[in-house]
Structure 1
Amino acid sequence: MQEILTGLIVALDVVALYLLLPDVKRRFLLSLWTALLHMIFPIIGYSVGSWMVSILSQWSSLISSILLFFIGLQLILSTKNRQIIAIPIVILAITASLDTFSVSVSFGMLNLQKYLFIISAGIWTFILSYISLHLAKNRFPIKGDTLKWIAGISLITISMITLVDSLNNS
């Protein structure tokens, strides 16, 4: 269940970004690229995370908690920096998907279900990014800052739960 919820959380970050882009012409293609990258980056992240577990098995839960905490904090702080620039769809999709790498490193370190998270992140990201791009085109009144706060607080909460669990199991 945590994997499905985190797949949704990483998709919310994309929604927050894409709600700020009212003039995207190829919304379906951008949503598809972003969803695919939200699946590719976690595969790489899980591999790195699993590798790190073999090296840092005693510290993996603490490191994972710290990574998730700072990713969540970065999402919250990014609401202050709101620059909109015209960039190619592929670059925009990569930029919107890079955070899934660091989240999946943490999940790889925790040995959570890789494919469940990857499929969840891809499906949620495609659906929500496509919807948010259509809403942005229609000048939907909700801005991305609220969603970034929700995603950031959710990741910080997961990091705290992971930290408490690891301390209780020690």
Structure 2
Amino acid sequence: MQEILTGLIVALDVVALYLLLPDVKQRFLLSLWTALLHMIFPIIGFTVGSWMVHILLQWSNLVSSILLFSIGLQLILSTRNRQTIVIPITILAITASLDTFSVSISFGMLNLQKHLFILSAGLWTFALSYISLYLAKSRLKIKGDALKWIAGMALIIIGVYTFIYHIE
């Protein structure tokens, strides 16, 4: 269940970003590309995370907690950054998906079920990014900052929980 919820949480970051892009012409393609990258980066991240577990066995839980906390904090702090830039669709998808790499390193170190997380992240990201891009084009304005705060706080809570749980 944690993997499915985390897949949703990582997708919320994309929602917050894509709600700010009203003029995307290839919404389906961008959503599909972003979803695929939200599955590819975790594969790499899980591999790196598993490798790090063998090297840093005693420190992996601490590193994992710090990574999750830092990513959550970065999401919250990014709500202050407001810039309008025209970015190619592939670069936009990669940028929106890079955070799944570092999150999945943490999950790789915790030995969570990678296939379930990867599938969850891909499906949630595709559905939510397409809906976000559609809503951004419509007249209905939804603030992405609230979603970034929710996703950021969720990652911080998971990071703190992981740290406390593994100390005991």
TM-score interval, normalised by the smaller of the two chains? over 0.9
Alpha-carbon distance in structure 2 between the residues aligned to 1:138 and 1:68: 33
The SS at the match of 1:57 is coil
CA deviations 1:110-138 (Å, max 9, x no partner) are 00000000000000000000000000000
Structure 1 position 149 matched with structure 2 position 160: no
Question: TM-score of the superposition, structure 2-length normalised?
Answer: 0.99
Alpha-carbon distance in structure 2 between the residues aligned to 1:151 and 1:132: 15
Alpha-carbon distance in structure 2 between the residues aligned to 1:52 and 1:63: 10
Alpha-carbon distance in structure 2 between the residues aligned to 1:4 and 1:42: 13
RMSD: 0.5
Q: Could you tell me how far 1:5 is from its partner in structure 2?
A: 0.5
CA deviations 1:9-60 (Å, max 9, x no partner) are 0000000000000000000000000000000000000000000000000111
Alpha-carbon distance in structure 2 between the residues aligned to 1:139 and 1:7: 28
Match of 1:81 in 2: 81
Residues 22 and 139 in structure 1, CA contact (< 8 A), matched pair in contact too: no
Q: Could you tell me how far 1:142 is from its partner in structure 2?
A: 1.5
Alpha-carbon distance in structure 1 between the residues aligned to 2:140 and 2:117: 29
Read off the aligned partner of 1:14 and give its amino acid letter.
Answer: V
The SS at the match of 2:15 is helix
Match of 1:111 in 2: 111
Q: Could you tell me how far 1:163 is from its partner in structure 2?
A: 0.6
Question: TM-score of the superposition, structure 1-length normalised?
Answer: 0.98
Structure 1 position 43 matched with structure 2 position 80: no
Q: Could you tell me how far 1:82 is from its partner in structure 2?
A: 1.4
Structure 1 position 101 matched with structure 2 position 101: yes
Read off the aligned partner of 1:107 and give its amino acid letter.
Answer: F
Match of 2:12 in 1: 12
Tell me the matched-pair count: 168
Q: Any gaps of 5 or more consecutive residues in structure 1? A: none
The SS at the match of 1:79 is helix
Match of 1:122 in 2: 122
